[in-house]
Amino acid sequence: MGRPATKSDLLTAAAVNFEKLNQLISSLTEEERNTPFDFSGDEKKKENHWKRDKNLRDIYIHLYEWHQLLLRFVASNENGDPKPFIPRPYTWKTYGDMNLALWKRHQDTTLEDARDMFYKSHEEVLRLAERYSNEELFTKGVYKWVGGSTLGSYFVSTTSSHYDWAMKKLKAHKKNCKNQTA
């Protein structure tokens, strides 16, 4: 399936990738769950997130915090308080710094709390998406506060696309764990 371009596709992709992510997490062995992420041996993994996230909790928290960005962005703008998706002082050029600050904020959050927060925020995002029509989600220019994009693209980015990102990272971690024991 390509990138969702309809409300139906958005909701389906979010649900399917949420389920795939949960199945992948369920398939992790105890060793894989407890081994810290280490991608330093792979020179192709240069982006900061490969160094930032050290465990499953960090993945859950990252996904949760991006759900929160969407929920706050929509709520503020719907209430007539214009706010960008990436909160100040960050921008799309410095969102890596924001991600690191979000990561630091949750270093004392437990894995169980992180999972629960992620599950709850996933449901909140889907309920919010349900409130909009297909046209409101995927027609450019409906909401000036989304810029040149569509509101639906923000939902896709914070759900199915981000879940793909998480699965890619977890699969790379599983592969690393297998290579270490081989």
CA 127-131-137 angle, 5° bins: 105
Position 38 in a domain: no
Position 39 in a domain: no
Position 116 in a domain: yes
Question: Which residue segment(s) compose the domain that 90 sits in?
Answer: 7-31+49-173
Nearest-angstrom CA–CA distance, 47 and 63: 17
- Alpha carbon separation from 149 to 26, 49, 121, 144, 157 (Å, rounded): 35, 25, 23, 9, 12
Q: What is the pLDDT of residue 103?
A: 97
CATH number at residue 129: 1.20.120.450
Rg (CA), the chain: 17
Nearest-angstrom CA–CA distance, 154 and 48: 22
Tens of pLDDT along the chain (182 residues)? 689 999 999 999 999 999 999 999 999 999 999 899 999 888 888 888 999 999 999 999 999 999 999 999 999 999 999 999 999 999 999 999 999 999 999 999 999 999 999 999 999 999 999 999 999 999 999 999 999 999 999 999 999 999 999 999 999 999 998 887 65
